[in-house]
Structure 1
Amino acid sequence: MNVRITEAGSGLLDNRPFPSVGEEVELPAGLAISLIHDRRAEAVAEQAAETRETAAVAAPEKRGPGRPRKTA
């Protein structure tokens, strides 16, 4: 998962030196979510090509008109 670091840190992050503020890094989902919940990072949008593919797949199927309404 791609995240952008919003707060400075020290030590190691995923066995690499902690990235600087504003840097975008690829992290495992669990670690990325943990940093997002701690407000130390924010999620970065996926690339446009991937988003279009996802949007096309996620569109629900259209259904028919259904049953006629009951009259009083």
Structure 2
Amino acid sequence: MRPATTAADDRSWTAWGSGDSWARVREHHDDDQIVALVSLIAMINANNRLNVIVRNPGGSYEPGMFTGLAN
């Protein structure tokens, strides 16, 4: 899991990250897993950026806070 988290950190802070982190990820994951990892990283980064825009502090979610919206 460490190569995946290193790759996630690289992608979060730079446009491309290092080729070395991609090589380590490829040692441990197949193409489908890498696609899923990159997609997850992109979604988390987008969510974090949107939270900054709307000034939603991290950790403000409480379990069950949206249950009333389902009805």
Name the TM-score, length of structure 2 as normaliser: 0.22
> By percentage of residues, which structure has more strand?
1
> By percentage of residues, which structure has more helix?
2
Flag the structure with more relative contact order, 1 or 2, with Cα contacts below 8 A and sequence separation at least 6. 1
Larger Rg: 1
